Amino acid sequence: MANDSKTWRCGKYELSFDRPRIMGVLNVTPDSFSDGGEHFDPDAAIEYGLAMLDAGADIIDVGGESTRPGFTPVNPDEEARRVLPVVRALAKEGAIVSIDTRHVAVAKAAVRCGASIVNDVTGFTDPKMVEFVKTSACGVIVMHAGEVAAPARTHATVQLDTSAAAFVAEKAREAAAEAAREAEKPGRRRRGKLLGEPKSEAKLPGGVVQPSLPFGDPEPAAEQETPAAEQAAPAAETVAPEVTPAAAETEPEPSDHLVAMMRRSARREEAYAPTSQLRRFTLPDSAPIMRRVMGFLSDQARALIHAGVSRDRICIDPGPGFGKTANEDIVIQRETAKMASLGYPLMCAVSRKRFVGAVSGVTEAAERDAATFGVCLGAIQAGANIVRVHDAAGFAQFLNGYWAVAKPQPRRAFVAVGSNLGHRCDNIRAARDMIAEIPLTCVSNSSKIYESEPAYETRQDAFANAVIEIKTELAPLVLLDELMKIEAELGRDRSKKAKANGPRTIDLDLLWMDGETHGGKKLRLPHPLIGERDFVLVPLEDLMHDPARFFRYNGVEVKEPEDRVGHIVGELGRM
Which tens digit of pLDDT belongs to each residue from 343-362? 999 999 999 999 999 999 99
Supply the pLDDT for residue 263.
60
Whether residue 213 has pLDDT greater than 50: no
Supply the pLDDT for residue 70.
54
Number of H helices, E strands in the chain: 21, 18
Neighbour-count burial for 391-429, b at 16+ CB within 10 Å, e otherwise: bbbbbbbbbbeebbeeeeeebbbbbbbbbbbeebbebbb
Class of residue 545 by CB neighbours under 10 A (exposed 0-12, middle 13-18, buried 19+): exposed
What average pLDDT does the segment 443-458 reach? 95
Mean pLDDT of the chain: 83
Supply the pLDDT for residue 145.
87
Look at domain 411-573 and name its CATH class: alpha beta
Tell me if the pTM is above 0.95. no
Strands (DSSP E) found in 173-310: 201-203, 209-211
Distances (CA, A) of 172 to 206, 218, 312, 321, 395: 9, 22, 59, 42, 61
What is the end-to-end Cα distance of the chain in Å, rounded? 37
- Would you place residue 494 in the very low, low, confident or very high pLDDT band (cuts 50, 70, 90)? confident
Asked whether the beta carbons of 382 and 402 are under 8 A apart, the reply is no
Supply the pLDDT for residue 204.
43
Supply the pLDDT for residue 384.
97
Q: Give Dmax over CA atoms of the chain in angstroms.
A: 116
Q: Which residues contact 82 (CB under 8 A, 6 or more apart)?
A: 28, 29, 40, 42, 64, 74
Please report the DSSP string for 15-83 in residue order.
EE-SS-EEEEEEE-SS--TTTTTTT-SHHHHHHHHHHHHHHT-SEEEEESS--STTPPP--HHHHHHHH
Supply the pLDDT for residue 87.
97
Supply the pLDDT for residue 499.
86
Supply the pLDDT for residue 279.
67
Q: Which residues contact 250 (CB under 8 A, 6 or more apart)?
A: none
Q: Identify the residue with better confidence: 173 or 21.
A: 21
116's enclosing H/E stretch is none
Cis peptide bond prior to 318, omega within 30° of 0: no
Q: What architecture does CATH give domain 2-150+286-405?
A: Alpha-Beta Barrel (3.20)
Q: Identify the residue with better confidence: 321 or 240.
A: 321
- Domain ranges (residues) in the chain: 2-150+286-405, 411-573
Instruction: Give, as one character, the DSSP assignment of residue 313.
Output: G
Q: Which of 197-206, 257-266, 409-418, 501-510 has the lowest mean pLDDT?
A: 197-206
Supply the pLDDT for residue 211.
41
Supply the pLDDT for residue 309.
97
